[in-house]
Amino acid sequence: MVPVTKDGRIILIRQYRYAGGGYLYEIPAGTLNKGERPIDCARREIVEEIGYKARRFTRLKTILTTPGFTNEKIHIYLAEDLVPARSKLDADEVIEVRIFKKDEVIKMIWDGKIKDAKSLIGLYSFLYDKRPGTKKN
């Protein structure tokens, strides 16, 4: 999810990723449980990871992670109208929640501080999607 506060700031998580070589800034995400709908996973994971519920979700993209060897899909949502909730991190998750202004996120992207593909696609979709019929961000 790309969680956006009422005043337009973006919530990211900073999490240690062994395969990524250290701490990464990412949008909150999670794994679908068997039989779970993507929107239900988004509702669950946003509370678990950042301690907010979103009253409004808008699908931004569904992407294939690496179609050369897996059929994994990631469903990316814009999460808005946020209200505080109690986070429920998994025992092995160490996550720092950070809130940034849009211009700070753009600078982080261009400076290479955000490297995660799902996060880049989600953030680009939120920041730059100008399809006819969509509201400007």
| Alpha-carbon gap, residue 90 to 36, rounded angstroms | 18
| Alpha-carbon gap, residue 86 to 81, rounded angstroms | 16
Summarised one tens digit per residue, pLDDT across range 87-131 is 877 777 778 999 999 999 999 999 999 999 999 999 999 999 766
Give the domains, in start order, of the chain with CATH numbers: 2-128 (3.90.79.10)
pLDDT at residue number 38 = 97
Summarised one tens digit per residue, pLDDT across range 13-48 is 999 988 888 999 999 999 999 999 999 999 999 999
Neighbour tally for 136: CB within 10 Å: 5
Terminal alpha carbon distance of the chain? 16
